[in-house]
Copies of this chain bind each other. A is one copy, B any other.
Amino acid sequence: MNADILKERQNATFDVEKLTNILDGGPELTKRRREIESMVLNDPDFMEEDPNFLSRSERYDQAVRKSAQMILKLREYGIADPEEIYCYKSMACGPRPEPVGLHFAMFLPTLYNQCEPEQSRKWLPLAESLRVVGTYAQTEIGHGTHLRGLETTATYDPATQEFVLNSPTVSSIKWWPGGLGKTSNHAIVLAQLYTQGNCHGLHAFIVPIRDMNTHVPLPGIVVGDIGPKFGFDEIDNGYLKMENVRIPRENMLMKYAKVEPDGTYKKPPSAKLTYGTMVFIRSMIVGESARALSKASTIAIRYSAVRHQSEIRPGEPEPQILDFQTQQYKLFPLLATAYAFIFVGQYMKDTYSRISGDINQGDFSELPELHALSAGLKAFTTWTANAAIEVCRMSCGGHGYSRSSGLPDLYVNFTPTCTYEGENTVMMLQTARYLVKSYQQAKAGQQLSGIVSYLNETDHRRVQPQPVSARPTVVDINDLASLVEIYKLRAAILVGMAAKSIQQELQHRKNQADAWNNSAIDLVKASDAHCHYVVVKLFTDKLGEIGDTAVHSVVSSLALLYALHGITVNSGDFLQAGLLSVPQVLQISVRIKELLSQLRPNAVALVDSFDIHNKKLNSVLGRYDGNVYENMFEWARRSPLNATEVSQIQCLVLRSKC
């Protein structure tokens, strides 16, 4: 082991294993996770070529082969719990997505949720055995987030009792679904349903796209890969153009809405029923943000402990990068953010499972709040983690650009979370809609419950932007409860300001839609402040659950750093609202520097606590043993460009032309 990183570990003030257990949700879960991880580790079938050295087609092939292996193994070991499947998969695939990912994440769940019994009997055995490999085809080349804008049509023909599917325009070609290009033989296609001359909006249809024996595209189907992307090399995101493709009436998913044999349309009983999967996926993405940021900060902090560069004191040897204040200031707030997001992810998972229990019993009352929260937090955490991964990468100097660092792959495979499952700005505006509605309800005298209950407190609603208020004197910048309070007030004020902007616009134009659009900047800001408050609050709440004193102490420092750093970045808001005074903002800057020094000796131990195995981290810079340079040299020598000492092109071009 590298001497520097060893020393770092010896200097830690807390027991890493105890913190790992907290992050896993208990020592039993840590143990089980490691058991599952070791199944992959010790399995020769998961030995693979470094994808960095392969062409995209080779990467796709390797990934398909691995997915097939994985499915067999999961069955063999009887791993069926979704958490455990996730754990197995993320060890086997590392940071890379897998071509049959959507089969499991969208195709099967949609069948589970939207088949009527007859359909379940037909399709589930086929899909579960992977005779049918499916994907979920919603977005079109010209249409994304806005479902009503989709153009694909499914027109019912009562004569043959079939639906006829068409892509009537170029802009209606289905575009982006993962696994659509080459891998899938079926797709759930979202299309505008026409029957008896009327359009009934978007519905889901099972469309066979390739022959189940020959895998050749079926008549009327034009299907293929949409070409290389920023990352996701393993995935055949695809296009699908349909020309009079006929499917039997029974291929419409009919648990809720129905089309009778004669073409009569029956509406679904509730619009909320299709809502759940989306909320689930967005909640899970919060956890993805935490995991991605944990990996990035593990790599950046370990390498910063190993890397010596430049000088602090003239004449002395190059110090560890981690001793530079600027490096600490880049990385420690992100480390704190990773912890914050892990705890928020745990909260979202728990909340989802609690509320989905309610939903199964017909109680939808908490769904709107969860919907709003998952939308905003999905955007808040993915945007933050996205930018943070790049900060981590660039904090590694030149080597952060090498694929051997793992950071480029981590970034390109994470960044799509900002766009898929709901574009982030749209997500923020959805949350804002809920906040403004709640604000107006509170103003109208309704008593709000849940996470927006702070909009009730009438005194907060009266807080107005002001240079200096009486409040600041009571804020203790070292007290998290006090900081949670001012984050809450900031959110309340910004929600109020957004609502006021809409009001003012309405007075000028009397058009709700334009008033909303002309207040959109304020609305996004309000959502962001709301999410920030929620994260600070949940992080603070979590501290109450940590018993071990040493662990509590270091995690408290992280929470304080997270809260104070967020204030300095948004100090304008806090000053504007009179929530903090100028001297307090200056004190906070000083306090942040103290916290950086305080966290410095525990930085490596804090990333060790994430307990991310080398194979999963997939980074020469982030290796647990810190032996970076010799391994980077080894890796480089395997570059395909080094296969020949002298390449043809060198001889042909350089020598003959010059």
Q: How many whole Å from A80's CB to the nearest CB in chain B?
A: 18
A650-B408 contact given A182-B641, A639-B226, CB 8 Å threshold: no
A143-B309 contact given A130-B658, A425-B326, CB 8 Å threshold: yes
Inter-chain contact A214/B646, CB cutoff 8 Å? yes
In the bound complex, CA of A572 to CA of B581 (Å) = 11
A324-B401 contact given A636-B239, A640-B57, A649-B64, CB 8 Å threshold: no
A550 within 8 A of B: no
Q: How many whole Å from A99's CB to the nearest CB in chain B?
A: 10
B-chain residues with CB within 8 Å of residue A311 when the two chains form the complex: 146, 148-149, 513
A504: nearest chain-B partner, CB-CB: B590
Q: Which of A145, A575, A649 neighbours the largest number of chain B CB atoms within 10 Å of its CB? A: A649
In the bound complex, CA of A646 to CA of B570 (Å) = 54
A23 within 8 A of B: no
Inter-chain contact A149/B310, CB cutoff 8 Å? yes
Inter-chain contact A215/B654, CB cutoff 8 Å? yes
Q: How many whole Å from A584's CB to the nearest CB in chain B?
A: 10
Q: Which of A176, A467, A633 neighbours the largest number of chain B CB atoms within 10 Å of its CB? A: A633
Q: Which stretch from A249-257, A449-457, A517-525, A605-613 is at the chain B interface?
A: A517-525
Q: How many whole Å from A532's CB to the nearest CB in chain B?
A: 15
Q: Which stretch from A198-206, A228-236, A348-356 is at the chain B interface?
A: A228-236
Inter-chain contact B64/A310, CB cutoff 8 Å? no
B-chain residues with CB within 8 Å of residue A654 when the two chains form the complex: 64, 68, 130, 133, 183, 215
In the bound complex, CA of A429 to CA of B559 (Å) = 29
Inter-chain contact A649/B65, CB cutoff 8 Å? yes
Convert A415-430 into 0s and 1s, putting 1 for each residue whose CB lies closer than 8 angstroms to a CB of B.
1101110011110010
Inter-chain contact A518/B129, CB cutoff 8 Å? no
Inter-chain contact B52/A55, CB cutoff 8 Å? no
A643: nearest chain-B partner, CB-CB: B57
In the bound complex, CA of A412 to CA of B71 (Å) = 35
Q: How many whole Å from A408's CB to the nearest CB in chain B?
A: 4
A28 within 8 A of B: no
B-chain residues with CB within 8 Å of residue A592 when the two chains form the complex: 521
A585 within 8 A of B: yes
A402-B229 contact given A572-B575, A650-B215, CB 8 Å threshold: yes
B-chain residues with CB within 8 Å of residue A61 when the two chains form the complex: 647-649
Inter-chain contact A149/B309, CB cutoff 8 Å? yes
B-chain residues with CB within 8 Å of residue A418 when the two chains form the complex: 394
A141-B217 contact given A64-B649, A326-B524, A582-B467, CB 8 Å threshold: no
In the bound complex, CA of A517 to CA of B146 (Å) = 51
Convert A157-187 into 0s and 1s, putting 1 for each residue whose CB lies closer than 8 angstroms to a CB of B.
0000000000000110101100001110000
A104 within 8 A of B: no
Inter-chain contact A230/B403, CB cutoff 8 Å? yes
In the bound complex, CA of A642 to CA of B403 (Å) = 26
Q: Of B313, B517, B657, which is within 8 A of A68 by CB?
A: B657
Inter-chain contact B225/A401, CB cutoff 8 Å? no
A226: nearest chain-B partner, CB-CB: B636
A633-B170 contact given A131-B658, A520-B325, CB 8 Å threshold: yes
A16-57 CB contacts (< 8 Å) to partner B: 52-53, 55-57
Inter-chain contact A429/B326, CB cutoff 8 Å? yes
Inter-chain contact A419/B402, CB cutoff 8 Å? no
A216 within 8 A of B: yes
A119 within 8 A of B: no
A400 within 8 A of B: yes
B-chain residues with CB within 8 Å of residue A364 when the two chains form the complex: none
Inter-chain contact B394/A582, CB cutoff 8 Å? no
Inter-chain contact B513/A313, CB cutoff 8 Å? yes
A329 within 8 A of B: yes
B-chain residues with CB within 8 Å of residue A176 when the two chains form the complex: 398
Inter-chain contact B467/A658, CB cutoff 8 Å? no
Q: How many whole Å from A491's CB to the nearest CB in chain B?
A: 17
B-chain residues with CB within 8 Å of residue A83 when the two chains form the complex: none
A641-B181 contact given A68-B653, A141-B629, A576-B585, CB 8 Å threshold: yes
A459-514 CB contacts (< 8 Å) to partner B: 465-468, 511, 513-514
A639-B401 contact given A633-B170, A653-B65, A657-B72, CB 8 Å threshold: no
A444 within 8 A of B: no
Inter-chain contact B649/A308, CB cutoff 8 Å? no
Inter-chain contact B313/A514, CB cutoff 8 Å? yes
A545 within 8 A of B: no
A248 within 8 A of B: no
In the bound complex, CA of A394 to CA of B144 (Å) = 13
A88 within 8 A of B: no
A637 within 8 A of B: yes
A387 within 8 A of B: yes
Q: Which of A327, A401, A575 neighbours the largest number of chain B CB atoms within 10 Å of its CB? A: A401
A146-B593 contact given A181-B641, A403-B230, CB 8 Å threshold: no
In the bound complex, CA of A465 to CA of B583 (Å) = 8
Inter-chain contact B468/A467, CB cutoff 8 Å? yes
Inter-chain contact A309/B146, CB cutoff 8 Å? yes
B-chain residues with CB within 8 Å of residue A60 when the two chains form the complex: 641, 649
B-chain residues with CB within 8 Å of residue A64 when the two chains form the complex: 649-650, 653-654
A155 within 8 A of B: no
A318 within 8 A of B: yes
In the bound complex, CA of A53 to CA of B196 (Å) = 46
A99-125 CB contacts (< 8 Å) to partner B: none
A76 within 8 A of B: no
A368 within 8 A of B: no
Inter-chain contact B576/A582, CB cutoff 8 Å? yes
Contacts beyond the supplied A144-B309, A229-B408: 11 A-B pairs with Cβ under 8 Å: A64-B654, A146-B309, A149-B311, A227-B403, A229-B401, A239-B636, A401-B416, A521-B593, A570-B572, A571-B572, A572-B575
Listed A/B pairs (18) with beta-carbon separation below 8 Å? A56-B640, A64-B653, A68-B654, A143-B318, A146-B310, A146-B318, A170-B630, A175-B398, A215-B651, A224-B637, A227-B636, A230-B408, A230-B411, A312-B517, A313-B514, A323-B517, A394-B415, A401-B415
